[in-house]
Amino acid sequence: MQTKIHLDEDEMPRRWYNIQADLPAPLDPPLNPKTGVPVTPGDLSAIFPAELIRQEMTAARFVDIPDEVIDILRLWRPSPLFRARRLEEYLKTPARIYYKYEGVSPAGSHKPNTAVPQAYYNRQEGIERLATETGAGQWGSALAFATCHFEMDCTVYMVRSSYAQKPYRKMMMQVWGAECHPSPSILTASGRAVLEKDPNTPGSLGIAISEAVEDAANHANTNYALGSVLNHVCLHQTVIGLEAREQLASVDEYPDVVIGAVGGGSNFAGIAFPFAGDKLTGKKPEVELIGVEPAACPTLTKGLYAYDYGDVAGLTPIMKMFTLGHDFVPPDIHAGGLRYHGVSPIVSRLVRDGVARAVSVYQNEVFDAAQTFARTEGIIPAPEAAHAIRTAIDVALECRRTGEARTILFNNTGHGHFDLASYEAYYAGILPDYDYPEELIRDALSRLPKVG
């Protein structure tokens, strides 16, 4: 029986799918943080190239992938789709479980899918350096890999606690020629302001974004690159779902349930948007889409659907999205890639409209699932990917109870070879089940003066 379902290189998607074309109403516009009026392309040109700004705002259903980008994606794409038959047998479920494996990329995750086109478009427009932030280092290493292919410089602001605790991602960035600084740093005004208040701060993704945006805005040869949240990032990730749909069709399957972990939302967008498009256009109205987030940072399940900043300093456009507040610093969960206060405006809209739904899971149950997956399917997943595995297993166990033979597809976004310390903590029994004190936060917010 077939385990891996492959596509040939010439079957790789030539176009990204833009779900904005199929939304019943256009997205609420992002607002300029200074003026509060809708952002114009000119507002964004200080930090993004024109083509990415166009992609951010376009209503066209498909966007062509440049040949130069396809050439690089070919290093690992199309990525394999696996039938997780050993996991099914272990769970004694009638469900059929498929997963897309993005850990085959050079950086070991789905992040290069957008890092490569972002570097390409910036280089096309004469940009010589990209500045970005990274949490656990997945995005920073992916952008380092991508810029190195276009002979660009790359400056990565890495959240200080991760910089100290996760040295291997930092070394990967070095191998690919990028510079990596612990954030907050003394290189930017935003970083200095935070350090002045609190010299021992562990840093956060929101602070690191402020530093990278400031760096880009202050240097004419430098642009900013974001690894998630934004529409163009979600667009680039749709290669995952487009390939998966083809691969499933080749074995006469279409998923009943599509599952992805949600931090900023781009990997979920990647696996789910092509199927969400089928749902929105009435082709497959029944397909269920589930975003899985950590209980520590439950943006979609407990956040507010409102306009908020993307960063701590308030330099990014204000976006309508589910948010826990731009000054919320999530606890230090091992799935560092899911530690973000907000989530993609498009993913937010799909959840608000009931096209997709969200669940939240605790850290120990995530590692419990990761271990089951590693012992049945072999791959040791990244903690981020294990969030999707947890929910895939839960759905499969529900099928065992009901006897339904549903087809489950989830996104296995990467391997956990640089996350083994988190497995060690799990086995030592000292992995905290971080939680979100929803009522207390509501009480605290109720006392804040109302602004805006």
Q: Of 71 and 89, which CB lies nearer to other proteins in the complex structure?
A: 89
Q: Tell me the window of 105-113, 283-291, 312-320, 323-331 that interacts with other proteins (CB under 8 A).
A: 323-331
Using rule CB under 8 A, residue 328 touches other proteins: yes
Neighbours of 244 (CB within 10 A): 29
If one asks whether residue 163 binds other proteins (CB under 8 A), the answer comes out as: no
Binding range to other proteins, per CB under 8 A, among 3-11, 238-246, 347-355, 439-447: 439-447
**Residue 371 is a binding residue for other proteins (CB under 8 A):** yes
Angle at 437 between CA 431 and CA 442, to 5 degrees: 160
Q: Which residue, 25 or 428, is less far from other proteins as judged by CB?
A: 428
Question: Which CB sits closer to other proteins, 34 or 401?
Answer: 401
In whole angstroms, give the CA distance from residue 396 to residue 307.
36
* Residues 420/426/428/430 CA torsion (nearest 10 deg): 120
Question: Nearest distance from residue 437's CB to other proteins, in Å?
Answer: 4
Question: Which tokens belong to 417?
Answer: 């070879």
Angle at 270 between CA 269 and CA 275, to 5 degrees: 80
35 is an interface residue for other proteins by CB under 8 A: no
If the CB atoms of residues 28 and 368 are measured against other proteins, the closer one turns out to be 368
- Kindly state the smallest distance separating residue 440's Cβ from other proteins, in Å: 4
Please identify, among the stretches 113-121, 135-143, 177-185, 362-370, the one whose residues bind other proteins according to the rule CB under 8 A: 362-370
> How many Å apart are CA 208 and CA 224, to the nearest integer?
12
| Conformation bin of residue 53: beta by default, left when phi > 0, alpha when psi is -120 to 50 | alpha
Question: Per CB under 8 A, which of residues 170..209 are in contact with other proteins?
Answer: 200
Interface with other proteins includes 451 (CB under 8 A)? no
Among 119, 329, 338, 395, binds other proteins (CB under 8 A): 329
**Which residue of 120, 163, 362, 418 would you call a contact of other proteins, by CB under 8 A?**
362
| Sheet of strand 357-361: strand arrangement | 4-5, 81-83, 96-101, 407-412, 257-261, 288-294, 357-361
Token pair 């020629």 in the structure block, residue: 177
Task: Return the number of the residue (54 or 86) whose C-beta is nearest other proteins.
Answer: 86
CB count within 10 Å of CB 221 equals: 11
Query: Which of 66, 202 has the CB closer to other proteins?
Result: 202
Binding other proteins (rule: CB under 8 A), the pick from 24, 440, 449, 450 is: 440
The token duo for 313 is: 């300093």
Q: Establish if 421 lies at the interface with other proteins (CB under 8 A).
A: yes
Angstrom distance (rounded) from CA 254 to CA 248: 6
Q: How many CB atoms lie within 10 A of CB 90?
A: 16
Q: Decide if residue 306 touches other proteins (CB under 8 A).
A: no
User: How far is the CA of 197 from the CAs of 162, 190, 213, 282, 444, in angstroms?
Assistant: 20, 11, 20, 53, 22
Based on the shown chain and the rule CB under 8 A, indicate whether residue 89 belongs to the binding site for other proteins: no
Cα 315 from chain centroid (whole Å): 21
Instruction: Give the binding range for other proteins (CB under 8 A) out of 70-78, 186-194, 313-321, 441-449.
Output: 441-449
Q: Which of 104, 372, 398, 407 binds other proteins (CB under 8 A)?
A: 372
Of 248, 251, 300, nearest in space to 278 by CA: 248
435 binds other proteins (CB under 8 A): yes
Position 331 contacts other proteins (CB under 8 A): yes
For residue 224, the cross-strand partners are 131
Enter the tokens of residue 138: 């997945």
Instruction: Determine, following the binding rule CB under 8 A, whether residue 429 of this chain makes contact with other proteins.
Output: yes
Nearest Cα to Cα of residue 380 among 406, 418, 437, 340: 418
Per rule CB under 8 A, is residue 397 in the interface with other proteins?
A: yes
Of the ranges 177-185, 213-221, 260-268, 322-330, which one interacts with other proteins (CB under 8 A)? 322-330
Residues that bind other proteins in the complex, under the rule CB under 8 A:
90-91, 165, 200, 295-296, 324, 328-331, 362, 364-365, 368-369, 371-372, 375, 393, 397, 421, 424-437, 440-441, 443-444, 446-447
